Each structure stands twice: as C-alpha cells, then as structure tokens.
Amino acid sequence: MKDNNFKAILFDLDGTLLDSLDDLSECANSAIASKGFPIHTTADYKVFVGDGVQALIKRACPEGTDQHTLDECIALMKNFYSENWSKHSTLYPGIADLLTRCSELKISLNILSNKPDSFCKKIAEHYLADWKFDLIRGALDEFPLKPDPSSAINIIKKSNFSANEWIYLGDTDTDMQTASNANLKAVGVSWGFRSSEELLQNGANLVINSPLELLDLF
C-alpha cells in the first residue's frame, strides 16, 4: 500500500488519537446507574462506543428501555462527561511522535469524530494544541453521523487534495465503513477499541500496530 501520493490524513479521535475509554465508561456507568440499571466493565464499552452518545447509551441500557429513560440517561451522560472528559484520557503512546513527523513531512492533519462538534474541538484544543490541524470536525446537524460518508466527503471537497491523496485512520468498524464509503484508503489501528479482525472485515486496507508504522505509507 506504499504510495507517495498520500498528502492528507483524516483521523478519528477516540480510540485512535485519544485513549478516552476510562472516562467514557465511568460517565456512562454513572448515568445508567442513576436509573438503577446494572453497570458494565470498561472492556464492554469498547463495543458500545463509536457511533455517538445516543447509540452508546442505548447499548449500555437494558434492552427495551423506553425512549424517555434513554433520553434522560443521554442527558446525564453528557453532563457527567462535560465535567470529567479529561480525568483519565491521554494520547496513545507514539501519537505525539507521529503527529510531529507528519507535520515535518507537510502532511495535512484533520479529524472527523462522532462527538458533538464544539466538544470535539474543545478536546482537540486541550490534547492536540502542539500540532496544526487543518480541520477538526465533530458531529454537525447538517451531516449524518459516521459511517455515512457525507461529512468526510465534504472535508475532502474543502481541501486541496483529491480522495486518492487521503488516508483515513480509525479504530472501529464505523471508521472503516466511513473510509470505504468515501473512497478513502482505510487504515485501522490495533491499539484502539476494536480487534484487527473486525477492522479488516469492515474494509480496512491495512491495520497498523503502532502509530509510526503509518509513516511507511508516505
């Protein structure tokens, strides 16, 4: 897959750049426990996250939970997370080195997350201020959530690069499907929330085991 034509990267945030699972799981557990629902292990949340907070809470709540209760848990989750999003979260080992090296190579850095847009930007400002990102985008009302490719395609159109000059880097089936749907090179990461097998089954062209391995593509 080595190709010197790659000039831009579209990163997922959680599970790819940022190890946020402990904060996400603690806040979600606090939300559902307030309704008397059983809580889950941190490992359980690896398969709950990735598709936005509504999907996260629906997966964490017991099957058949009514929509009103789901909405209350979603609101609680948002409130808890807004106050505790940086309690445990940290960049994955090697991410800082990858971003620095990509910057030196003049690779365009970009983020697309299913987190709300304003919150995505807030988190990126906190953890990623040392690097220049050309575009950071979370969930916006005008675009469906990933794996719908609309937002990714819009990002590409706003850039100076064609789709075949982009790499999409992510850690879930949702990310790999997004990349495939947008006709981008799909690179999965094994250090995130899902297995390498799942990434490959959902369209990954390649799975890397450490951040600096991505440099082999440039």
Q: Per-residue pLDDT tens for 177-207?
A: 999 999 999 999 999 999 999 999 999 999 9
pLDDT (0 to 100) of residue 4: 61
CA 101-102-107 angle, to 5 degrees, is: 155
Distances (CA, A) of 108 to 71, 89, 160: 38, 25, 10
Cα 126 from Cα 182, distance rounded (Å) = 29
Helix spans in 6-149 (H)? 21-33, 53-60, 67-84, 95-104, 117-127
pLDDT (0 to 100) of residue 3: 53
Cα 112 from Cα 120, distance rounded (Å) = 9
CB-based contacts of 200, cutoff 8 Å, min separation 6 = 188, 207
pLDDT (0 to 100) of residue 148: 97
Q: Which two tokens stand for residue 66?
A: 């009514």
pLDDT (0 to 100) of residue 50: 87
Q: What are the tens digits of pLDDT across the range 9-33?
A: 999 999 999 999 999 999 999 999 9
- Mind listing the domains of the chain with CATH numbers? 8-19+90-217 (3.40.50.1000), 21-84 (1.10.150)
pLDDT along the chain (218 residues), means of 10: 78 98 97 98 95 95 97 97 96 98 98 95 97 98 97 96 97 97 97 97 98 96
Cα 150 from Cα 136, distance rounded (Å) = 15
pLDDT (0 to 100) of residue 1: 45
Beta bridge partners, 166, equal: 8
Which among 143, 178, 145 has a CA at the least distance from the CA of 54? Answer: 145
Cα 33 from Cα 84, distance rounded (Å) = 17
Which among 173, 169, 211 has a CA at the least distance from the CA of 186? Answer: 169
A 10 A CB-CB count for 45 gives: 21
Q: Is the pTM of this model over 0.85?
A: yes
